[in-house]
């Protein structure tokens, strides 16, 4: 019976040659996906929020709702 001699060397190198580019590509994809799926929309959401943000108006409405301890609503 003559079997082919099995592969004795370079097993790790072979595996790495296959898997490392895939790992690299997937990581790159994950990073790009995160950037454009999460961080950019988040930055835009913050920009939109603060574009027309009136801090005084917000403070006054929060004060009237009675959530502060340092300032009570104007009525009291």
Partner 1 sequence: MLRLTAGRVGSLVARRATVALTTSSARMASHGHEVSEAVDMSKPMYWDRREIPLPDKRYKDILTPADKSLKEKEKGPWGQLSNEEKLALYRFSFCQTYPEMNQSSSEWKTVVAGVLYCIGLTGLVIIWQTAYVSPPAPRTFDAEWQAKQVKRMLDMRVSPIEGFAAQWDYEKGQWK
Q: Which residues bind partner 1 (CB under 8 A)?
A: 1, 42, 45-46, 49, 58, 61-62, 65-67
Please, what is the minimum distance in Å from the beta carbon of residue 61 to partner 1?
Answer: 8
Closer residue to partner 1 in complex, CB, 29/45: 45
Task: Give least dist CB 33 to partner 1, A.
Answer: 18
Cβ distance to partner 1 smaller for residue 1 or 13: 1
Quick one: CA dihedral 19, 22, 26, 32, positive or negative?
positive
CA distance 49 to 69: 26
Torsion of CA 25, 28, 32, 33, to 10 degrees: 60
């Amino acid at each position: 019976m003559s079997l082919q001699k099995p592969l004795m060397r370079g097993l790790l190198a072979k595996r790495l040659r296959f898997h490392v580019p895939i790992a690299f590509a997937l990581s790159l994809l994950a990073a790009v996906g995160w950037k454009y799926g999460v961080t950019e929309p988040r930055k835009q959401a913050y920009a939109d929020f603060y574009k027309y943000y009136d801090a005084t108006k917000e403070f006054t409405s929060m004060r009237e709702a009675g959530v502060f301890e340092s300032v009570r609503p104007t009525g009291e």
